[in-house]
Structures are given as C-alpha cells and as structure tokens.
Amino acid sequence: MKVYIDVLVMENIVMNYLILLLTAKFMRHKPSHLRLFLGALAGAAYVVVLLLMPNLKVYCTTLAKFALSLLIVAIAFSPAKPALFIKTLAVFYVSTFIFAGAAFAFLYLNQTGGFVRNGIVYIWNSKGTTLFFAVATVGIIIRIFWDIVQQRISKEKLLMPLKIAFGNGTIELFALVDTGNSLCDPLTNSPVVVVEFNAIKNILPMEIQRIFDESKENDLDSVTKIVSDSKWMSRFRLIPFTSLGKENGMLIGFRPDYIEVGENAEKKGITDVIIGIYNRALSKNNNYSALLSPELI
C-alpha cells in the first residue's frame, strides 16, 4: 500500500482548516485566515511525524493528541482567558467529531477509499471524489445542525445581560434575543434595541420621562415639541414600527453613549445602536426588559 505524503498533507490541511473554520463560526470568533491555516498546518505536520516515525509511540498517546489540540487552538484562536480557551477547545472537539463521523462513514461505504491507523485517517480516490463528498456531507450536516440550534435558541428565549449608558447614567438588565426584531433607525440604519420605559426611566431626561408618565408617546405634536426643546434633541428620533401588537406605530428612540451585550470574556461593546422606548411590559413574568436583535450578539 502506497501513501503519498503530499496527498496526506493536503487532505489534513483542508480538513483541519474546515474544522477550525466551523469552530470559529460556532464560537462567533473572527480569526484571520492565516491563523486558521497555521493551526491546520500544525495538525498536518503531526500526522507526517506519525507516518514517518511510527516507532515513536509517545506521539500516538492520548496525552500527545490532547497536547496537539491545545496547540492548534492556541495558534488558531489564542483565547485570552482560561474559561474561553476551554470552551473553544470543547467546540473544536465537537467540530472534529462531526468531520470524523463523515470520514468514517465514507470509509465504511467505500472499502477501497482509505484506511485508519494510529489515529490517522487517510482517504484517497483517483478523482478526489471521496474527499469532496465527505466535505459536502459535513456541510449538509452542519447546516441542519445549525438550523436546529437556532430554532432551539429561539424556543428557549435566550437571555443576554445588557448594559446601557446614556449621559451620566447606566442601567443593567436582561434582554431577549428576538429573531423577529429587525427594527432599524430610518436615518442611520442602526439596529434598534427595544427597552421597557420602566426599566430605563432613571437614565432618561426628565422631559422625556414626562412623555411616558403622562402616556403622551403617541401624541406626535406633543412629542415633537418636547423633544425639540430638549438639549438632547440630536440624540432622539422617531422610529416607525409595525409590531409589538400595533400597526403603523411610532417609538421614541435615542442614541446611547454605548451598550454592552453579554458578560465576562464574551462581553461586546457597541456604539452604533438606537434604543427604542416601549411603554408597556415586554415579558409576562418579568424575565427580560428588552428585545435584542441577533446581529448585535
């Protein structure tokens, strides 16, 4: 049986790169393609060492392969915190299992298509169709898996910590990641986060608070006059909407200094956003006080 090193290296670089790319997608990382390639190359180099030096049993041990995983994740993603490193490593293993499952499936379906030895999966085909179909199958599996995950997230009403800063005040609350929230500011096209008035009241100017306290948010003449007389006029705008139980409605919105979404290592700061003020409860059980667009996480 002949094994061509160039084919083996090429296959492993391609597969490792796709595994790392999938890991990045699941983790919502945006590493450079160079880092992903270098991580894939490290994995391919390990395979070549195993092939050329089969008597070095130490490289075939579980500990050695675990150390390789740590090296690949460090090269490709360089997570700053231990918790993020462990999470990225776990997702990397899940991605690897998905690709490995597809590779094994094709080996069993096509007995002349490759072999497995010392943890090395070697797939060959004169036209390269075996590897192509393996990758295509993984793509389909990932697509189905991703849709299921997104549906599950939607059903479970994923909650995210949200911090809003405006003027000298900040508030912290929980927001629901709402796939149906596609509101945008018509002037700047910035995404809109819908927030309950009672949750955000304390950081709003007094004149804006009076609009909602007196339930005048639908009186456009009063709103226009009050906002135009406010020193914060440039920060406020009117946002049309056709949801939240009302058609052709209008939200009063404002541009905050910034918002922070998430927590710990996954915290994300955003300035290009508008806060839309809603004068009703968004949650029946008070689990959240805002609706967050998925594009902001």
State how far the Cα of 211 lies from the Cα of 223, in Å rounded to an integer: 7
Please write down the HEC assignment for all residues of 37-50: HHHHHHHHHHHHHH
Quote the CA–CA distance of 41 and 1 in Å, as a whole number. Answer: 25
Report pLDDT digits (tens) over 175-208: 988 776 778 888 888 899 999 999 999 999 898 8
Query: pLDDT tens across 48-86, in order?
Result: 887 777 677 666 778 888 898 999 999 999 887 888 899
Fold of 159-296: Cathepsin D, subunit A; domain 1 (2.40.70)
Whether residue 238 contacts residue 249, with contact meaning beta carbons closer than 8 Å, is answered with no
Backbone angles phi, psi at 98, to 5 degrees: -65, -50
Annotated catalytic residue within 6, 178, 213, 219: 178
In the predicted structure, residue 246 carries a pLDDT above the cut 60: no
* pLDDT, mean of residues 235-262: 79
Strand partners, 253: 237, 276
Given the DSSP bridges, would you call strands 290-292 and 114-117 parallel, antiparallel or unpaired? unpaired
213 is catalytic: no
Supply 235's token pair: 């920060």
Residue 109 binned pLDDT confidence (cut-offs 50, 70, 90):
low
- The two structure tokens encoding residue 190: 């910035």
Neighbours of 58 (CB within 10 A): 7
Q: What is the pTM of this model?
A: 0.48
Max intra-chain CA distance, the chain: 84
Residue ranges per domain, the chain? 5-156, 159-296
